[in-house]
Amino acid sequence: MTTAPVPTPRPPADETLRSALAVRARPRRPNALSASLTHGWRTLTKFRNSPAQLIDIVLMPVVFLLMFTYLFGGAFAGSTREYLQFFLPGILVMTVVLMTVYTGTALNTDITKGIFDRFRTLPFWQPATIVGNLLGDVVRYTIALTITTGLGLLLGFRPAAGVTGVLLTMLLLILFGFSVGWIFAALGVVVRSPESVSGTSMIVMFPLIFTSNVFVQTATMPGWMQAVVSVNPVSHATTAARGLMHGTATAGQLGLVLATCAALIAVFAPLTMYLYRNKNQR
């Protein structure tokens, strides 16, 4: 007695398999802008879990403004009110520059905690993680600049260029901070820990800030120091900010800052993307 052979089951067609597995239509892949805005919103929501960031944004510029104005203003300019007119634009530049470090620390935190590995498996434009962090930092800059300027007005700061000058100064410094942030984004990709980003950044940032014209006029410095200050990009941003606030800015001063911003973005944005892309391929 022979038994009939059992037929081998045929694999289901691709269409049948897809219809069995897909509950609903696959969502469209987000474009670069949508992905960047989503990561920017993610950066802002970190405020709820990291209130220390808000403290730094609000407290740091306020402490520096009050301390330097009332401790050193009389010695530097003869009166605290006169020094405030000179110092406030400088403290705005200092605040933005110091806050750019957050870009690198936030990016490095994602890498060290493994969130980066999860992101690289998802179908979105991968550099959106970096761009989103930078966009989130723009909101930080805006908050810090608004609070510091408001406090300065309460203390007696009076910009000769009025509201227009203040707004133009804030826009210029936000652009300056955005461009400097690319430096620390590149640093955040290559270092091993967020603490290394902060430590390395401060070693560079504090000498850069204190060898500028943020606190005192360049003419009061020795000749060799004036040469250093005159090539410092922080000095260029401070000079342009003072000019916009008081209505004395020249096209050359503004053009120098804008050229510096363009150069930083042109160099460090592609470098950061290259480092990030190579890290994805490891």
Tell me the pLDDT tens digit for each residue of 38-83: 878 887 777 666 666 667 677 888 888 888 888 888 888 778 888 8
Q: Does a structural domain hold residue 175?
A: yes
Q: Residue 43: CB partners within 8 Å, gap ≥ 6?
A: 106, 132, 133, 135, 136, 137
Cα four-point dihedral sign 107, 112, 113, 114: positive
- For residue 8, name the pLDDT band (cuts at 50, 70, 90): low
257 neighbors 237 (Cβ within 8 angstroms): yes
In this prediction the pTM is 0.83
- Domain carrying residue 125: 30-280
198 neighbors 99 (Cβ within 8 angstroms): no
Q: Does a structural domain hold residue 104?
A: yes
CA distance 173 to 53: 20
Question: pLDDT tens-digit profile of 218-233?
Answer: 888 888 888 999 999 9
Q: Does a structural domain hold residue 198?
A: yes
Q: What is the mean pLDDT of the chain?
A: 83
Q: Is the confidence at residue 263, as pLDDT, over 90?
A: yes
Q: Is the confidence at residue 6, as pLDDT, over 80?
A: no
- For residue 258, name the pLDDT band (cuts at 50, 70, 90): very high
Q: Does a structural domain hold residue 209?
A: yes
Total domain count, the chain: 1
The tokens for 232 are 């410092």
Q: Does a structural domain hold residue 110?
A: yes
Q: Does a structural domain hold residue 9?
A: no
117 neighbors 25 (Cβ within 8 angstroms): no
Question: pLDDT tens-digit profile of 227-257?
Answer: 999 999 999 999 999 999 999 999 999 999 9
**Amino acid of residue 69:** T
Q: What is the pLDDT of residue 37?
A: 83
- For residue 282, name the pLDDT band (cuts at 50, 70, 90): very low
b/e code 251-264 from CB counts within 10 Å (16+ = b): eebbebbbebbeeb
Q: Does a structural domain hold residue 186?
A: yes
Look at residues 270, 278, 244 and name the one whose alpha carbon lies nearest to residue 131.
270
